[in-house]
Structure 1
Amino acid sequence: MSHHRVRRFDTAETYPEQNLSNDLAQAVVADGTVYLRGQIGQDLDTRENVGVGDVEAQAERAMANIALLLKECGSRLDDIVKITVCLTDIRHREPVYRTMGRWLKGVHYVSTGLVVSALARPEWLVEIDATAVIPAGRRAEAERLRRASAAERGEEL
């Protein structure tokens, strides 16, 4: 199986004020493992920031993005095995983890939490990175769903 890149983009479009041009993707699927780019309080389609100054709203959007990206990859939230959370302030831990807990109730994943001095943009307060593994018995169906989702977005396979 080859690697499938979902929602490809160039950082020149995402960070026009920075002198960058890196080819990235929001997700990569490789042999049943789904690797997601760190998600923040930003709409995946419009790139509009959501919840500026509101860490709970940003965490909610990040989790919604994770759920959407997993679906587009043929996966789902209960396939998550690892989460990494980056916070810009330790006081944000409780509202962020409470939000994640609502989305991931019963998922028993491993988690790493970090407090960092800043994220890529000053208005971003939290970034949530997830890795999921699609069980072997669902991989053929997951591939069909991923292809259908890519076709809906007009994305090349």
Structure 2
Amino acid sequence: MSIQYHKPGARMCQVTVHNGTLYLAGQVAADSSADTAGQTQQILEQIDALLAEAGSDKSHLLAATIWVTDMANFDAMNAAWDAWVAPGRPPVRACVEAKLAKPEWLVEIMVTAAAKE
């Protein structure tokens, strides 16, 4: 039973792969000065890059968990998400309002995906 670790750090790994399933760490925007839509777009680009590095893509998403700091920003986050998600292949998803680790972060997204066959 092998486990692959992509971009491991001292505290956590960005992607762990086990039995053909990719588990991504929660992603936040690199430029936290952006608004909710901008932060969401940045996060989705990061997710694309991490999935590609680990052998998958957004058309293989299985699940997503999204945290937003204020449900007033739900529509802005969803607009970016809807433009990004693979047509006809949306994952199961949960979205909740939560206080994130840093006040400048407005969105955090964590996904699970299948490896490409």
Normalising to structure 1: TM-score of the pair?
0.70
- Inter-partner Cα distance in structure 1 for 2:86 and 2:6: 26
Q: After the TM superposition, which segments of 4 or more aligned residues of structure 1 sit over 2 Å from their partners?
A: none
Of 51, 54, 57, the match for 1:70: 51
Q: Does 1:130 align with 2:111?
A: yes
Structure 1: which 5+ runs fail to align?
Answer: 11-21, 43-49, 139-157
1:15-62 Cα deviation digits (max 9, x unpaired): xxxxxxx3x1111011100000011112xxxxxxx1425111110010
Question: Does 2:84 correspond to 1:96?
Answer: no
Residue 3 of structure 2: aligned partner: 3
**Structure 1 partner of 2:21:** 33
Question: In terms of Rg, which structure is larger?
Answer: 1
CA deviations over 1:49-90 (Å, ceiling 9, x no partner) = x14251111100100000000000010110001011000000
RMSD across aligned positions (CA): 1.2
SS at match of 2:9: strand
Higher-helix-fraction structure = 1
The alignment covers a number of residue pairs equal to 116
Which of these residues, 15, 19, 41, is aligned with residue 60 of structure 1? Answer: 41
Structure richer in strand, relative to its length: 2
- Share of identical aligned residues, percent? 29
Gaps of 5+ in 2: none
User: Normalized against structure 2, the TM-score is what?
Assistant: 0.93
